[in-house]
Structure 1
Amino acid sequence: MRSFLRILRWVALILLILTAAVLLTVWLLRWRGLILFSHEAAPEQWEVFGVDVSSYQGTVDWPVLAGQGVDFAFIKATEGSTLQDKAFADNWSGAQAAGVRPGAYHFLSYDSPGETQAENFISMVPVTDGAMPPVVDIEFYGPYLKTPPDKERVQAILDPLLAALEAHYGVKPILYVTYRSFYSYLNEAKYADYPIWCSSPTVFPLVPRWDFWQYSHSAQLDGYHGAQTRIDLNIFRGSQEEFESFGLR
C-alpha cells in the first residue's frame, strides 16, 4: 500500500512539473509574439472604435468602413529610413473624406538612425488639422524575435525619432507597444508622458496608462479588398468627447 501511494505521489509530481513546463512554454511563445490565441479578448462597452490598415488591406472603401462604426484609423505610412507604404496617400485622404479621424504610424527599424527614420515619415505625412498624433510602432521582427536589441541601442534610435516628430507635428507621438517591447524599453520615467497604444488580443491591457487598445488581429469587416482579409480592431479609452480633443496641437 505504501509503495502504491509513493508511486501515486511521484506520478502527481511528474504531471505537475509537465503542466508547469507546458504553461511556461506557451507563455514564453506568446511573450515573444510567436503565437496568438484563436480566442481573442472582447472589449467592454466603449464609445470610440477604430481600425489600423496598410497596403495589405488593398483598396479601402472608407465610407463602408465608417458605416460599420469606425471612428478612427491608424494608417501605415513608413518603415525604417526608406520604406513608404504605397497605399498611404489614398488611405489618408479617403479616411478624412469619410469622416474617419486618421493617424499615421511608422514601424520602427532597429537598423537605421532615428533621424533618417523621422525624415522618411515627415516626407510622407502632412501636418493635418484634426489628425491624431503620429505613432511609432515598437515591436520585434525577423532576427529580433529571438534576439532583441539591447535597451541602449533601441533608445538611441527611438529618442531622436520621437524628438523630431514632436518638433515637427507639435504633439507627443503615440507609442504602439507589445508587453515585451514596453517592459523591455519603455517602462521608465522619460516615456511617462507619451500616449500608449497597446496590442493585447487576449486580455485587457496589462501596461499602465494606456490610451488605445488593439484588441483583435483577426476581424473581418466589409469595405477593403487586398491580400489580407483580416483587419485589426481598436478602441479608445475614453468618451467621444475626450477623443475629439485627444492629441490636438
Structure 2
Amino acid sequence: MFKPKGLLSALTALVASAALLFTAQAAPQARALTIGAPSGVDVAGHQHPGGAPINWKTVRADGQSFAFVKASEGIGWTNEFFEEDARGADAAGMKVGSYHYARPASDPRAQAATYAAQIARVPHHSLPPVLDLEVSEGKSPRELIAWTRAFTDELKALTGRTPMIYTYRYFWTDHMANTTQFSEYPLWLAAYQAQAPEPVGGWSKLAFWQRSESGRVNGVTGPVDMNLFNGNDAQLASFAAGNYGNFGGVLNGLVVPGAPDLGEDASLLIGAILALGVGAAAAPAIIEAAKESGLGAQAAGELARFVEDLNAAGELPISELQAMAAGDSTVGDLAILLDNAAHLGGVDSELTLTAAQVDKVANAARGAGVDLPAIDSRAVADALSHAATGR
C-alpha cells in the first residue's frame, strides 16, 4: 500500500482507458455501488500534490463511508498529512482508520511505537489500526511470522486496540507460509480484480477488500485506493465500535460491474520477466506475454518498460518472481510485487501516455460503438499520465 504505485496505477488506468477518457474531460466521480457494501478510500501523502488538501466533505458526499490514512512507515517516518486527513474525514462524518507500512528489516517494537505515537494524535480513530504487511525484506516465513507477532503484541500493549492485517494473497501464502496465525485479527485483503477474493490463511471472511488503487473520487486529487466493507452500514458502525465478529456475507461471490480486472493468471508473464532478468528475452516477449495474460497493448508496453527500469537498476526481485511462478498468482499480485520492489529500491519509472496512444484508444472505442465526444488528445494523455503515476 506504499504510494505512489506507478505500475498498478498505469495498468488499471489503461485497462479502464475508455472510462478514463470520459473522466479526463470532466470532474471524475466515484458513484456509490448499489450492493449494500459501504465504500471507502485509503490515502497517503501523495494525495496532496503541492500540499493541496483533500476535501473530505466532498469525498463523503461522493458516497464514501470510511477512510484509512497512512500514519507511518518503518521506524520514525510519519505522514505529515496524517492528522489533517484523519481529523478532516472524521469531521465529514466518515469512519476513520490508519495504517503502518511494515519494514521487517528493522525492529518491530520500535515500529509499533512509531505507529502508536501517531494514533495518539487522533482522538476519533474508530476503525482498527492496520499493519500493512507486503514486503519481507529478506526474512524467512518463520522470522516474518515472529516479527508480525511482536509488532501486533506491542501495538496492542501500547494502544489497547486490536489491530487489523492488510496484505495480498501471494505475500501471505508465500512469505507468511499461509499461516493460520493472526486470524483473531480482522483481514483487509488487496485484490485488483472484478470479483471479491477468497480469504487467505486462517480467516473465514474478509473485513475489507481493497479492490482498486486507481479510483477517482470527488475531493481527492488524482487516483485513490477504493475499498469495500464486508457488511452493511449498521455492521460498519458496529465494527467501528469494536465488534469485530458481526459482519460478513456481502462480498461473497460479489462481482463489481465494469471494474478494471487484473485477476488473470500471471504465470506466463512471470516467465517472460524472469527470462528478461537473465538476458534470455527482451521487452517484446514481455509485451506478448502480457497481452496473453489479459492486458491491452498499451498496458503491456507500460509493464515492459517498468520491468526494464527495475532490471536496469538491479532491483528486479528474481527470487520472489521464481517463488511466485511456482504458485497461483494474478497479474494484480505481480504488479503489487513489482511496485514494492521499486519502492524499496528507490526506482522512479516514469509511466506516461502519448497523444497517439489516446487517439488509438479513442478510435477503438468509437469503433466498438462508444459515443465519445471530441477530445484534446494531448490534454487527455497528460491527465491519464497524472492518474497513472500520481505526478
Q: TM-score range by the shorter chain?
A: 0.7 to 0.9
Q: Could you tell me how far 1:86 is from its partner in structure 2?
A: 0.9
Indicate if the aligned counterparts of 1:115 and 1:161 stay in contact, CA closer than 8 A. Answer: yes
Task: Show structure 2 runs of 5+ residues with no match.
Answer: 1-7, 17-32, 243-391
Give the structure 1 partner of residue 212 of structure 2: 216
Give the structure 2 partner of residue 204 of structure 1: 196
- Does 2:89 correspond to 1:98? no
Find the partner of 1:117 among 111, 114, 129: 111
Secondary structure at the residue paired with 1:194? Answer: coil
Task: Provide the C-alpha distance between the structure 1 equivalents of 2:191 and 2:146, rounded to a whole number of angstroms.
Answer: 26
Indicate if the aligned counterparts of 1:221 and 1:231 stay in contact, CA closer than 8 A. Answer: yes
Q: TM-score, normalised by structure 2?
A: 0.49
Q: Could you tell me how far 1:80 is from its partner in structure 2?
A: 0.6
Q: Could you tell me how far 1:66 is from its partner in structure 2?
A: 0.5
Secondary structure at the residue paired with 1:192? Answer: coil
In the TM superposition, what whole-angstrom CA distance separates every residue of 1:23-46 from its partner, at most 9, and x where no partner exists? xxxxxxxxxx8x955547xx7813
Secondary structure at the residue paired with 2:210? Answer: strand
Q: Could you tell me how far 1:154 is from its partner in structure 2?
A: 1.4
Find the partner of 1:51 among 34, 41, 46: 41
Q: Identity of paired residues, percent?
A: 27
Give the structure 1 partner of residue 128 of structure 2: 133
Opposite residue 200 of structure 1, the aligned amino acid is A
Task: Provide the C-alpha distance between the structure 1 equivalents of 2:161 and 2:196, rounded to a whole number of angstroms.
Answer: 27
Quickly say closer, same or farther: Cα 1:93–1:101, change in 2 above 3 A: same
Opposite residue 182 of structure 2, the aligned amino acid is Y
Opposite residue 205 of structure 2, the aligned amino acid is R
Give the structure 1 partner of residue 172 of structure 2: 182
Task: Provide the C-alpha distance between the structure 1 equivalents of 2:90 and 2:126, rounded to a whole number of angstroms.
Answer: 9
Task: Provide the C-alpha distance between the structure 2 equivalents of 1:130 and 1:246, rounded to a whole number of angstroms.
Answer: 12
Task: Show structure 1 runs of 5+ residues with no match.
Answer: 1-32
Please identify runs of 4+ aligned residues in structure 1 that moved more than 3 A: 35-40, 127-130
Task: Provide the C-alpha distance between the structure 1 equivalents of 2:211 and 2:34, rounded to a whole number of angstroms.
Answer: 11
Indicate if the aligned counterparts of 1:76 and 1:105 stay in contact, CA closer than 8 A. Answer: yes
In the TM superposition, what whole-angstrom CA distance separates every residue of 1:84-109 from its partner, at most 9, and x where no partner exists? 01110100111111111110100010
Find the partner of 2:235 among 232, 235, 242: 242
Task: Provide the C-alpha distance between the structure 2 equivalents of 1:180 and 1:44, rounded to a whole number of angstroms.
Answer: 30
Opposite residue 190 of structure 2, the aligned amino acid is S
Opposite residue 244 of structure 1, the aligned amino acid is A
Opposite residue 115 of structure 1, the aligned amino acid is R
Opposite residue 196 of structure 1, the aligned amino acid is L
Task: Provide the C-alpha distance between the structure 1 equivalents of 2:178 and 2:218, rounded to a whole number of angstroms.
Answer: 37
Q: Could you tell me how far 1:136 is from its partner in structure 2?
A: 0.5
CA RMSD of aligned residues (A): 2.5
Give the structure 2 partner of residue 78 of structure 1: 72
Alignment of 1:11-26 (within 5 A): none
Moved more, 165-174 or 110-119: 165-174
Q: TM-score, normalised by structure 1?
A: 0.76
Secondary structure at the residue paired with 2:181? Answer: helix
Indicate if the aligned counterparts of 1:171 and 1:248 stay in contact, CA closer than 8 A. Answer: no
Task: Provide the C-alpha distance between the structure 2 equivalents of 1:129 and 1:98, rounded to a whole number of angstroms.
Answer: 12
Task: Provide the C-alpha distance between the structure 2 equivalents of 1:93 and 1:172, rounded to a whole number of angstroms.
Answer: 21
Opposite residue 188 of structure 1, the aligned amino acid is T
Q: Could you tell me how far 1:239 is from its partner in structure 2?
A: 1.3
Counting matched residue pairs gives: 208
Task: Provide the C-alpha distance between the structure 1 equivalents of 2:240 and 2:85, rounded to a whole number of angstroms.
Answer: 20
Q: Could you tell me how far 1:236 is from its partner in structure 2?
A: 0.3
Secondary structure at the residue paired with 1:206? Answer: coil
Opposite residue 133 of structure 2, the aligned amino acid is I
Going by fraction, where is strand more abundant, 1 or 2?
1
Task: Provide the C-alpha distance between the structure 2 equivalents of 1:112 and 1:36, rounded to a whole number of angstroms.
Answer: 32
Query: Higher relative CO (CA 8 A, sep ≥ 6), structure 1 or 2?
Result: 1
In the TM superposition, what whole-angstrom CA distance separates every residue of 1:39-68 from its partner, at most 9, and x where no partner exists? 47xx78133110000111012110010000
Indicate if the aligned counterparts of 1:74 and 1:102 stay in contact, CA closer than 8 A. Answer: yes
Opposite residue 101 of structure 1, the aligned amino acid is K
Opposite residue 172 of structure 1, the aligned amino acid is T
Indicate if the aligned counterparts of 2:214 and 2:224 stay in contact, CA closer than 8 A. Answer: yes
Secondary structure at the residue paired with 2:225? Answer: strand
